Amino acid sequence: MTAPATENSANCFVLSSNSLLAHLAPLEAVLFDVDGTLCDSDPLHHQAFQVMLQEIGYNNGVPITEDFFIQNIAGKHNDDIAKFLFPDDFERGLKFTDEKEAMFRKLASEQLTPIKGLLKLTKWIEDHGLKRAAVTNAPRENAELMIAKLGLTNFFQALIIGGECEHAKPHPAPYLKGLEALKVSKDHTFICEDSVSGIRAGVAAGMPVIGLTTRNPPHLLMEAKPALLIQDYEDPKLWEALQELEKMGLSA
């Protein structure tokens, strides 16, 4: 019997966690965002933006806050960030974001750590023979560095870069390209995401999205309509849903 729907704090109705993924059986694949989903990288991005914007006197030299970063930068493609930060000089904005990414890579190479429980989930995925892809708005150089630092280079069977698609997130194109690369159905795939932009992209692509409250406020994430919010990959709500999926016959 399907468990009843429950009302969450954002006044949205979602299925209780133990029935969340059951309709996906037989499960074929899991798609992951990278920044904030595989690793808690947003503080490093915030630090890089904060230092570099202060150096050029942005906001009269006052450092940008975490709230500013979350509202205007986190999860967005660099083209959109460049337009927002430098509305009158897009080319300068693109040069700035390129330099910021170089600073981020230096920080990430020294400080990057996985989201709690990530390796437990990736082992579960491997043990069940599921396909998997990383789908990100990050530049390819960033994504490859983060995935390598986390020891997941051989885990992912495809890496989809939003900037290399016709449209980046929040457009569904990157996630649809991920399905195509793995040759799987949206009806048998779920997504892990941490940003409003990414959740919107996954929902628009027709898949349930498990949202992580890594750094973004739950009430903002709920506006994008994730199927479930979890704190990290050790959250009991996630494993209740996966166990129910196993009962329904996880794989073909």
- Reduce the DSSP state of residue 131 to 3 states and report it: strand
What pLDDT shows up at residue 248? 85
- At 188-209, the pLDDT tens digits run 999 999 999 999 999 999 999 9
pLDDT in tens, 50-88: 999 999 999 999 999 999 998 999 888 999 999 999 999
Q: What pLDDT was estimated at residue 8?
A: 43
| Average pLDDT for 211-238 | 95
30 close to 123: Cβ distance less than 8 angstroms: no
Q: Is 187 a catalytic residue?
A: no
Count of beta carbons in the 10 Å neighbourhood of residue 102: 11
What pLDDT shows up at residue 14? 42
pLDDT (mean) for 227-242:
96
What's the CATH number of domain 13-40+113-247, 3.10.20.600, 3.40.50.1000, 3.30.470.30, 3.40.50.620? Answer: 3.40.50.1000
Give CA–CA dist 249/247, Å, rounded: 5
80 is catalytic: no
Query: Which residue among the candidates 35, 40, 194, 235 is catalytic per the annotation?
Result: 35
pLDDT digits (tens, 9 = 90+) for 142-198: 999 999 999 999 999 999 999 999 999 999 999 999 999 999 999 999 999 999 999
Tens of pLDDT, residues 5-41: 444 433 333 444 556 899 999 999 999 999 999 999 9
pLDDT, average across residues 108-131 = 96
Q: Work out the average pLDDT over 230-245.
A: 95
Check: CB of residue 108 under 8 Å from CB of residue 93.
Answer: no
User: 142 in helix, strand or coil?
Assistant: helix
Judged by phi (left if over 0) then psi (alpha if -120 to 50, else beta), residue 121 lies in alpha
- So what's the pLDDT on residue 97? 96
Query: How far lies 247's CA from each of 189, 194, 204, 250, in Å?
Result: 17, 27, 28, 7
**pLDDT at res. 19:** 67
Catalytic-role residue among 33, 40, 42, 80 = 33
pTM confidence score: 0.85
